[in-house]
Structure 1
Amino acid sequence: MEIKDIKQQLSIGEVASHYGLQLDKHQRVLCPFHPDKTPSLQLYPKTDTYHCFSSNCNAGTGDVIKFIQLIERCSTHEAIMKAKSLLGAGNTMSKIQVSETSPPLSNEADLLERESLMTKVFSYFKKALPASKKAMQYLQGRSIDYGLHDMGYNSGGLHTESKNHHLVNSMVKSGLLKANAVHGYSVWAKECVIFPLRNHENKIVSLYGRSISNNEDQRHFYLTGRSGLYPCYPTSGAIRLILTESVIDAASLLQQAEISTSYEVLALYGTNGLTIEHQQAIIASTKLQEIIFMLDGDEAGKAATIKHSNTLLQLLPRVKITTVALPDGEDINSVLQSHDDSRVLVELIEGRQPVSFYAASENIPTETLTTSALSEGDARLNTANAELLIYDGGVLLIIVLGGIKVTGLDRLRVTLKIEHKQKQLLPLRHHLDLYNHSHTQGLISQVSASYDMSQQVVTAIIAQLTGALEGYRVQRMESLQPKPAAKPELLPVQREAAINYLNAPDLLKRTGVDIGRSGLVGEEVNRMIAYLVYSSRKQHTPLHIMFLGSSGSGKTYLQERVSDLIPAGDKIEITQVTENAFYYFKQDELKHKLLLIEDLDGAETSLYPLRELQSKKRITKTVTLKDNKGNLKTVTVTVDGPVSVSGCTTREKLYEDNANRCLLLYVDASKEQDRRIMEYQTRQSAGMVNYSEEQGIKQLFRNVQQVLQPVRVVNPYAGCIQLPEQIFKPRRTMTLLLSFIETITFYHQYQREVKRDTNGQAYIETTPGDIASAFELLKEVMFSKGDELAKATRIFLEQLKDYLHNNGEDGFTPQQVRKQFRLQPRTVQRYIRELHQYGYIRQVSGYKHRQGFEYVILDGNEYKELTSLIDAQIQSILTTLKSTTPTATVLRQ
């Protein structure tokens, strides 16, 4: 006999009576474990446990085994033997015969051996069923069609066959056979119809036998340590579940197709047969909406319906509970036998009614347990206040004080305040880790003892609370994850308008004008280049851009206004970023995105991974991490591009490595640009700016960006393009120029014929007009690439030349220049130092501490000559293109 069988059959009251302890009306006795004048030992008959409330006693809380152990002052084994003697040899069950010859299964090997044995034995029983005439007659009399069920018959001769002698020891161990005192074996469930009982993995772990010859006593047979359910565990997606009183009743329902397809069926083991395994299986059906009791139509069946409904209601307070009224004295199988039309069972189920509860073991008010309280509503876990989570556990109300931590998934530390909803008792407060077994067991014992509840019910409620908190934590973690901006789908009208815009002639000219209408004043060339560069993010090799200019010159303004024309989901704006930040993006999170860096000074530490993203279109980093066992392992983090990078800075030379990969745009710092901006500002202040029109144009450009699709571009005129010899770093400059030409072609994709190569891949071709547009837009950029001076220094030098020429002077002093151009002393010193280093000016006279040094310009025409040479080279290329036939390529069909 197992320990759990002893605890089930031996009550705490019987043990107390055996030792002469007298219970009062409150189930209390004088504690035998310490000097006690007033009863302080409380007995709980429902759970067969005790608890001593005296602070002078160490008995604590325990079950019948611990009670015997303490009062006898013996070991646990001796207490178990004493409990068996109290039960007595004659303590047998009248209707259920349980074999007690085998010890409990202690390890996984025993379980696997038992599963294998049960499968083999049942296959033998299954083959034996059709061969037994009296078994077939019995089933026919019960209106059971054996062909529709998984069942067998035990004739008692399995072990006598020589081919099965090797199974005898295992059959004895499992309780299928019991050795007689003289010779031979007694057979378990002889002359019984056998049904398999299955575990959660749908494996046969035990058997049930129904006698075909005895319909009074000893008609139900279960093996030792009864486990498994019939016909199987309910599925996780079960919605409506019917509970029957017996296996035969369940089989009677299952052979009705109309029932088996609409409901799931589970057999109880008699009126008192709602076991812990049943409860756990039902709780696991997370989508369950209704439990239907269909027990016998006698007093015992009606009482069991009320009792088990209360139990399940505590476990699943949101599930609807109904009952099917069978005729008085009838069960499911007898109804099936007495009616020719099996649809009578369907009609009975369809007429089910809500369970009418009355005062039960937990004293739950009727109004609380009506089906209206079980209707669909809010989740049991109220998360309106993250610091005060409230869980409705049916009988118990549990408040999680302080909420839960989102981090640390290996623990679930909580502070609980537990109240009984019907009993006027003080609430319990407990701090614990719900993932710690000893913590949870202590909580369950405390709640069970304090509120006189079944430990099984409390265990289920705590398990459900844990699951609810886990789900809530996962939702919180997901909500904290940055979500990419969703790309809104274009309406047919918007898509058509965007495509028509791209199809119309003079696309670049119209685009430049409309960018100005969107609210961007001046910067005609720069804004057009920036818009095309931002559009290139969709291509395999995007372009990059860097805005240069002094502080307050409008770099960030220009970048922001052009980026307003790009959909929000296609860009990521960065003010400051750390060195490792780029490695923690998701692998595809940056693909074809526009990275907008407000000031490169805020991203100075991350310039290296930024350069790698620009050049290699991918960054990787190998780091060392500890696994859950504490072992070190290396993990490679990868973030894929390509990306288009746009940044602003005042210091071109400082970021030269990044600048070499970018198109450099110097903002317009002229007085004329100042005038245009101030005029726009005054019109804004006077309310003369049409904001609706500006927003409409911005939305049109965003729609245009969405209809542009990545496409391969082939430039058949690439062989005619040569860079002027004056260009510094021609390799990267040529790459930027060709990519910009391809971007202009890409922007004209709706005006280009789509061709296919020999592999069937689509592409479009560059035209001479695309090349001419690229040179026209990039002329100043090309000049800058051919100049060894920084653009700001070049502008200063050219202004200085004009000033000296207009005033008829040959030399100048820094103090004179600073006053004339209203520049900071350090800025003038930087310009003078760079010009002197590169040999553009020469010191001729003066003293450092008097009026200052005097300088002269060595060559006043050098820049005009440089620009003339580059311009002539560009014009020569464009002239050649007009008379050039496109180069034939193998890409064409």
Structure 2
Amino acid sequence: MNDHELHAAIHDDPIAFIADYYASRLSDNPKVLEHLQANALHCDDLHIGFSDRTFGKLLPPHRSKAGRDLREMLQSVGVLKSTGHETFRGFVTVPLTDTAGKITGIHGRRVDRSQGDEMENTIGTGIFNAAALTTFDELIVCGCILDAWTFCAAGHRNAVVAEQLNDEYFKGIKRLLIASPEINLEHFTDLEILQIAFPGHDSVNAYAKAHLNETDPLASRIRAATWVSGKPTQHAVVQQPVASPTPNPVDDLDIAQSDNEITIRIEHRRYRVRGLQRNTTPGTMKINLMVFNDRNDQFHVDTLDLCHARSRRVFLKECGEEIAIDENTLRGDIGRILLKLDQLQADAGTKSNEPPPYEMTDTERSEAMDLLQSPKLLDRILDDFETCGIVGEHAGKLAGYLAATSRLLDKPLGLIIQSSSAAGKSALSDSILRFMPPESRFTCSAMTSQSLYYFGKESLKHKILSVAEEEGVRDASYQLKLLQSEGRLSLISTSKEAGSGRTATERYEVEGPVALIMTTTSMNVDPELLNRCLVIAIDESVAQTAAILQQQRFAETVDGFIQEMQGKEIVKNHQNAQRLLRRLPVYNPYAEQLGFIGTQARHRRDHRKYLSLIKAVALLYQFQHETKTIEIEGESIQYIEVTREDIAKANTIADWALGRSIDELSGPTRRLLIELYDWLYDRSKTCELEPTEIVFNRREAREALGWSATQLNYHLERLCRDEYVVRQGGDNGKLCRYSVLYDGRGREGQAALIGLVDAASLQEPTRTAPTTTDLSG
């Protein structure tokens, strides 16, 4: 449900919505549950809720017109105070309804007495436990909601409050049990009346709390009730409300199960269940249930939540009338079926959707370890891609392989492969994915905006999420952005409960993180995805096209067939090597010595990609690094450290993936850049500074390079715009000075990332303590 639909639902029925929302928050507040238990008020059937001050986050900003209008409406019905605070914040709540079950009011009791003097509050109208008026012919009449609540929590669901009722509600009632001496008995002259006493205590709740350790102490007081007036009924003793029969053991049920449905036979009654597999949230069992009576060939079918008492009650009543079976018999059957389905649901929950772990042979393990321990691992990866028929694209192969490997990091890399149509982007993406274990990747062609929220048992944690085309996920780009940045997704949605029609709140969560790999032909990729992904352009040169055509022809020969068979073994070896990699923390002791261009805000994201690329290289080389151990708060944590060699490899790939070629500049602008660098390089030898540290003005550059003022000004501005030169000062009539960011690499047109530090120049970090020191404090 989007924000507009959510706000419309609040506006349509604010009291019902807030009652349902508070009920959804109760399970997230264990201390409140303990409070209810300690005060003899815990009851799963009363729709108890708790106001934990989170409702305001659902509302539009108070500065907007929609926010002001919605808050004024909520204040008018009493949900919000005039100050804008929730009326029931810090209260446990129960709904008040009419006899049809519609929520028309809310009653609340404060949990923490120290937070205010007002211990209880009520908004709206309605009756506490109104369902008892149409369900039972015997009622327990209490003096306040707290006492009736206490009776219901103890299992006596026929408790009501005297002040909420009039004579009309007592039609069909035969007996009243009065639970408060303050109730006026003159209104009940035509009914049998008994008085329940609670010796030594002022109220029902006080008595129940004093006898918490006893088994149903209120039942003993009901049985000890004394007759007051009215004609005695045929009851020899005060009867308890009819409860569901105790279900028989479920192991002896005659059950047949298929992929789509479950059929259970109990005597002459058959129950067909559909939709159980769609229930992935504990405490929910929404199913389609059909009941057959084989004696008269009648049947009843409906959709309900078996875990919801009201849904069961409505279903039992309608089913009993339609197929001519006693309601108590059906109630017993439903109890047994509920236990059986709960058992099946629990069994299904223990079965993971993940494929069983691949069992490597000793030979496969040895070959995979040889690959991971190869000193020239990246070269072997490139050679193996060539053997599998993927020619060229060195940058894309290594960047993609490392992005896929980074799935094991807490902040994985993403990869977008960009090219025109039919240039080979899908072939490169597919080849990268083939080298990864099948159990570590999830592939799809497109996604809707809400699809990621409903993955259920489909785990994405530390997996590769591959999408065929970026266009297919434009509706879900926001969700993908969150999944990459936050590592998880969360959605709160509302739906109608089967049977009752009431609005219920459900929470859906998906755990990440994921390494995202996708392709696109568009030059206008969502900026949010670009910020989080490496972007690799396919080589569309004539030479690359010729190499691809040659490989296609070679694949048609016998030698090509042999190469294809060898490729299958290579792919299998890489998949096994990836299975051997462990999810270890990676730390970079050289991080503070590294450099990176920082003239634009987007460089903050690019810098994070660069650091993640270094960690991905180290993670891939983990079996060539020492695994170290550190003690933190008594827990031993294993980790690996980045080496200078890792940084050198990452720098090379960063040049390809994040850098640019000076060939993108126009001829004169490119010539000026090279001349500027050469001039500053010569000056650096005499002043003992790096070329990038020397500051100059336009006059000095004109005199040194012999350029005219017009030409120099024009092309110098273009270099500033393209971030090869940075301007310093020049405002308010001050002298404008410049310094170059270009470091002299890539003169032949190779891509290069400005600002990187040569790994060979990094100093060995000084360690202040051994890695085994306990850092717990």
Name the larger-Rg structure. Answer: 1
Q: Please report the TM-score for the alignment, with normalisation by the length of structure 2.
A: 0.49
Q: Which has the higher contact order (CA 8 A, sep 6+)?
A: 2
TM-score (norm 1): 0.43
